[in-house]
């Protein structure tokens, strides 16, 4: 006997808590790196940067009037909300012969649990892919924010038609004409190379689009799991007496002590390590739709289908490349 609509609705309802519990069983790390937007709508979003005042002007004399200027548009950035899904089908007999013994409910809950794990892995790997694939000189489709009738003019590159991570031989140009890079290829993580990468972000790239100095200090060093994480942890957290350098003299202070959070992320690959301003507004993860589960009958085959889908995207806004610097990884044309 076919399942009633009430039975199918009950099975569908029972899948949600199982999936959510499994998703939350292990912590995710993408939300420690990106700022979060939980109320995204539509097929995508576009943001237009406004080049505002670089600083206030001082009056030369009492009674001096105002000098007016027109607003100037900066960069436009795009994000597309991608759909991620899974689906499973059951034969008519497989379902209808096992309703009373409870096997149908158990099977659906098992799939729901696997979807909870898969949802976590999918979000983590998607969020990490912008770091892994950000050095390709021809870009990658994950950076293309086109949606509907909105075409991202930078295509598979960042909004300024440069890769997310660029080297000295492929500098990007700001609106004031200054040129910048935010990546190196020394690869080895040690105190010297860490200090160089830190200064690249905190000093060299600490300028607005119109060249005004700004604060741009990293608050996180991020690595893959393994030896790089252990080295980063030692640089930031290991100190002798009086916060001295490990093995140093009492007055040999560790300048990095407790300055940055150290994060290892299993979803990273490629051998690179990063310094960044975690949760900067320019690095934004947009949640468009939480997972939606459906369990229904296929009227053609008379079997039963269960589906789940979710939507999200990463919006790298104007200035996003300033909020992170990378050492190592691939800088090939494509992946």
Residue 252: predicted pLDDT: 64
Residue 307: predicted pLDDT: 95
CA–CA dist 276, 259 (Å, integer): 12
- Give buried/exposed letters for 162-194 (b at 16+ CB in 10 A, else e): bbbbbbeeeebebbeeeebbbbbeeeebeeebb
Residue 34: predicted pLDDT: 98
Residue 192: predicted pLDDT: 92
Contact call for residues 165 and 322 (beta carbons, < 8 A): no
Residue 301: predicted pLDDT: 87
Domain residue extents for the chain? 5-45+74-227+270-327
Contact call for residues 52 and 69 (beta carbons, < 8 A): no
Residue 324: predicted pLDDT: 98
Residue 187: predicted pLDDT: 81
Q: What share of the chain is helix, strand, coil (3-state, %, to 5)?
A: 30, 25, 45
The residue written with tokens 């519990």 in the block is 21
Residue 156 CA, chain-centre distance (Å), reads 16
Low-confidence ranges of the chain (pLDDT < 70): 1, 53-54, 239-252
Q: Which of 276, 265, 278 is nearest to 226 (CA)?
A: 265
Residue 257: predicted pLDDT: 83
Q: Around 250, how many Cα atoms within 13 Å sit in the side-chain half-sphere?
A: 1
Contact call for residues 222 and 272 (beta carbons, < 8 A): no
């Amino acid at each position: 006997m076919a399942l009633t609509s009430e039975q199918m609705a009950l099975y569908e309802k029972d899948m949600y808590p199982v999936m959510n519990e499994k998703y939350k069983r292990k912590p995710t790390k993408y939300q420690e790196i990106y700022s979060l937007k939980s109320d995204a709508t539509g097929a995508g979003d576009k943001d237009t940067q406004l080049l505002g005042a670089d600083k206030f002007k001082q009056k030369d004399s009492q009674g001096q009037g105002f000098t007016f200027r027109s607003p100037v548009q900066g960069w436009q950035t795009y994000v597309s909300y991608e759909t991620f899904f899974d689906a499973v089908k059951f034969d008519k007999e497989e379902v209808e012969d096992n309703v009373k013994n409870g096997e149908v409910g158990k099977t659906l809950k098992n799939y729901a649990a696997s979807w909870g794990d898969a949802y976590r892995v999918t979000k983590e790997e998607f969020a990490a892919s912008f770091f892994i694939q950000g050095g390709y000189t021809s870009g990658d489709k994950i950076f293309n924010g086109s949606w509907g009738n909105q075409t991202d003019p930078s295509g598979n590159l960042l909004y300024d038609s440069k890769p997310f991570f660029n080297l000295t031989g492929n500098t990007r140009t700001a609106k004031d004409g200054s040129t910048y890079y935010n990546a190196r290829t020394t690869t080895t993580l040690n105190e010297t190379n860490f200090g160089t990468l830190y200064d690249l972000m905190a000093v060299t790239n600490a300028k607005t689009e119109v060249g005004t100095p700004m604060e741009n200090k990293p608050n996180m060093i991020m690595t893959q799991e393994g030896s790089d994480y252990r080295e980063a942890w030692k640089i930031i957290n290991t100190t002798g007496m009086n916060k001295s350098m490990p093995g140093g003299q009492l007055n040999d202070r560790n300048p990095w002590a407790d300055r940055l959070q150290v994060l290892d992320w299993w979803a990273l690959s490629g051998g690179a390590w990063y310094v960044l301003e975690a949760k900067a507004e320019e690095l934004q993860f947009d949640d468009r739709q939480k997972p939606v589960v459906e369990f229904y009958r296929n009227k053609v085959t008379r079997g039963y289908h269960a589906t789940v889908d979710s939507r999200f995207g990463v919006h790298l806004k104007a200035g996003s490349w300033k909020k992170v610097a990378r050492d190592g990884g691939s800088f090939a044309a494509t992946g």
